[in-house]
Amino acid sequence: MNGATLKLIDLRSDTVTRPGAAMRAAMAAAEVGDDVYGDDPTVNRLQARAAELFGHEAALFAPSGTQTNLIALLTHCQRGDEYIVGQEAHTYKYEAGGGAVLGGIQPQPIAHQADGSLALADIEHAIKPDDFHFARSRLLALENTFGGRVLQPDYMKAATELVHRRGLATHLDGARICNAAVKLGISLRQAVTGFDSVSVCLSKGLGAPVGSVLCADREFIGRALRWRKMLGGGMRQAGILAAAGLYALEHNVERLTEDHENAVYLARGLSDVAEIKVDLPETNMVFADIPAGKCSRLAQALGRKGILATVEPQMRIVLHLDVSRADVERITAAFKEFFGG
């Protein structure tokens, strides 16, 4: 086979999924209006559907998960407030410090446990007393899935109840909450129980090209709307994008199971290679330890086979809508050929 004719397999992230023919047809057929006037019927339908699925009163469509998380921080917290968050959480580490830069909101990061959770004792300890020396502890932000791992419902319940008792609010960065729900075999609504606001990415494993939704109560979403406008997230005939999101919620949630099964299948294949140490994946991400001295040559070898991956000593391989079981066979074969196994 010639490299140019091979289908490219992109394992860098589940953000790389491209809209397929049926999703594009839904986008092309979308009824639109000016969403800043609240006139776009497709955006309104997406927001209503997301609210219903996640068990909240209302929802807001925005261009990215970075923006829905930031809107949530700005809506929950005032200048001088503080939010408790994981040291490796997306909201804290990978969103350019937006809450601090734009909201004057101080993050209080705490270390993760081995399973990705934040220890309840650490959360409790991080809540500051009401004293003018301190920022006001206002919010706990958790993330599920976190590094491909699923936080368990009883943990989420305990953590949200703990901070609610102490007067804090709760936000879930549920960029991949659908992966968690499908893995746990629970409804989306059950998966977000206990959270006052939830951000969900439509553009990851769900396969939409753009967009996230923020779900919360009606009063919160009313205030969030002003922040979205201020951040430049008010879009006009956004129904074209919302149609993709609606299609994703209707058709691409249950199928995430296939990505999880492909991840396990790939991990099993890679575990045949003596030089690779691989963990059993919980959702759509495989983490493999690659000998540091071989990373760049492995990246090149995979590239020659039409496989795009971020090869690092702690390598993350992400399965998604555009990677089939046959593609997984190709990936496994490419690794085995390179390692001679």
Ligand X SMILES: *Cc1c(COP(=O)(O)O)cnc(C)c1O
Total residues interacting with ligand X, rule: CB under 6 A: 12
If one asks whether residue 14 binds ligand X (CB under 6 A), the answer comes out as: no
Nearer to ligand X, 176 or 330 (CB): 176
Give whichever of 205 and 239 is closer to ligand X, judged by the CB atom: 205
Query: What's the closest the beta carbon of residue 95 comes to ligand X, in angstroms?
Result: 7
CB of 112 to ligand X, least distance (A): 13
Nearer to ligand X, 50 or 175 (CB): 175
- Rounded to 10 deg, the angle between the 41-54 and 239-251 helix axes is 30
259 and 253 Cβ atoms separated by less than 8 Å: no
Strand partners, 189: none
Binding mask 113-152 toward ligand X (x if CB under 6 A, else -) reads ------------------------------x---------
Q: Which of 75, 108, 212, 252 binds ligand X (CB under 6 A)?
A: 212
Alpha-carbon distance of 266 to 91, in angstroms, equals 29
Task: Estimate the share of the chain in helix, then strand, then coil, as percent rounded to the nearest 5.
Answer: 45, 15, 40
The C-alpha atoms of residue 141 and residue 110 are separated, in whole angstroms, by 11
User: Is residue 66 a contact point for ligand X (CB under 6 A)?
Assistant: yes
**Taken in order 56, 137, 147, 7, is the CA torsion positive or negative?**
positive
Question: CA 301, CA 82: separation in Å to the nearest integer?
Answer: 47
- Does position 47 interact with ligand X (CB under 6 A)? The reply is no
Tell me the backbone φ, ψ of residue 224, rounded to 5 degrees: -65, -30
- Interface stretch with ligand X, choices 78-86, 108-116, 197-205, 283-291 (CB under 6 A): 197-205
Q: Any contact of residue 65 with ligand X (CB under 6 A)? A: yes
- Which residues are near ligand X by CB under 6 A? 64-66, 69, 90, 143, 173, 175, 201, 203-204, 212
